Amino acid sequence: MFSMNTEFREKLLTQLRQPGRKADMLIERNLGNPAGTDGCRPYTQDVEAALTLLPEGVHFLCGRFEEGKLFWCDVGFRPQVQAWGSTMASAIAGAVFAYLTHPDMGKYPDAGMTTENLN
């Protein structure tokens, strides 16, 4: 499980709303190099790369708002989180990041993802 200060987590989430290399590196650093030896991927810039962060069996739902100018994404159940971004990729990456770093992560074994699955 990824543990971080709530205030720091919220600051990171706001930085993930805009796609870019800096946001991708923040994800890479704070999720413990999820791409492994492949290095930093364009998580906030490419939907397929963002989806590699989504744990197996975890549901997500995405859409648009603000007349199609912004994207949102809900991830998980118990905890369920939502994030938005200027691209679909940044919304997905932000929501998955929010899910994986949520303080309640791993507390609900019936939700499909337990602490054991994260290690």
Q: CA–CA separation, 69 vs 119, rounded Å?
A: 37
b vs e for 39-48, b when ≥16 Cβ sit within 10 Å of the residue's Cβ? ebbbbbbbbe
Q: Is 114's pLDDT higher than 50?
A: no
Q: Residues 44-97: pLDDT tens digits?
A: 999 999 999 999 999 999 999 988 899 999 999 889 999 999 999 999 999 999
What domains are defined for the chain? 6-118 (3.30.2120)
User: Rounded to two decimals, what is the model's pTM?
Assistant: 0.84
Q: CA–CA separation, 62 vs 76, rounded Å?
A: 12
Neighbours of 61 (CB within 10 A): 11
Q: Is 18's pLDDT higher than 90?
A: yes
pLDDT at res. 107: 79
